[in-house]
């Protein structure tokens, strides 16, 4: 039974591969940070509106 081996790709292919992986990882981290920031802003807006509605001087009650 013979052993099958893959050829090693040239160094340029590896450089392109790692640049692509880095770009995708950077993009994903950016989206995660953007999502966390958006959640914090929406929560702060919710609490602000809640405070305005439940305030004693507001006629919404």
pLDDT given at position 13? 87
The pLDDT of residue 61 is above 60: no
Q: What is the pLDDT of residues 5-45, one digit of tens each?
A: 888 989 998 888 888 888 889 999 999 999 999 999 999 99
pLDDT band at 60 (very low <50, low <70, confident <90, very high): low
Number of domains in the chain: 1
| Residue 40 domain-assigned (yes or no) | yes
CA 22 to chain centre: 14
What is the value of pTM for the model shown?
0.63
CB 51 within 8 A of CB 58: no
CA 50 to chain centre: 28
26 backbone dihedrals φ, ψ, rounded to 5°: -65, -40
pLDDT given at position 34? 98
25: containing domain: 11-52
């Amino acid at each position: 039974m013979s052993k099958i081996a893959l050829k090693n790709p040239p160094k340029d292919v590896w450089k392109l591969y790692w640049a692509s992986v880095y770009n995708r990882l950077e993009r994903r981290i950016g989206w995660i940070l953007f999502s966390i920031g958006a959640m914090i802003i929406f929560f702060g807006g919710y609490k602000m509106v809640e405070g305005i509605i439940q305030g004693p001087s507001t006629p919404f009650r």
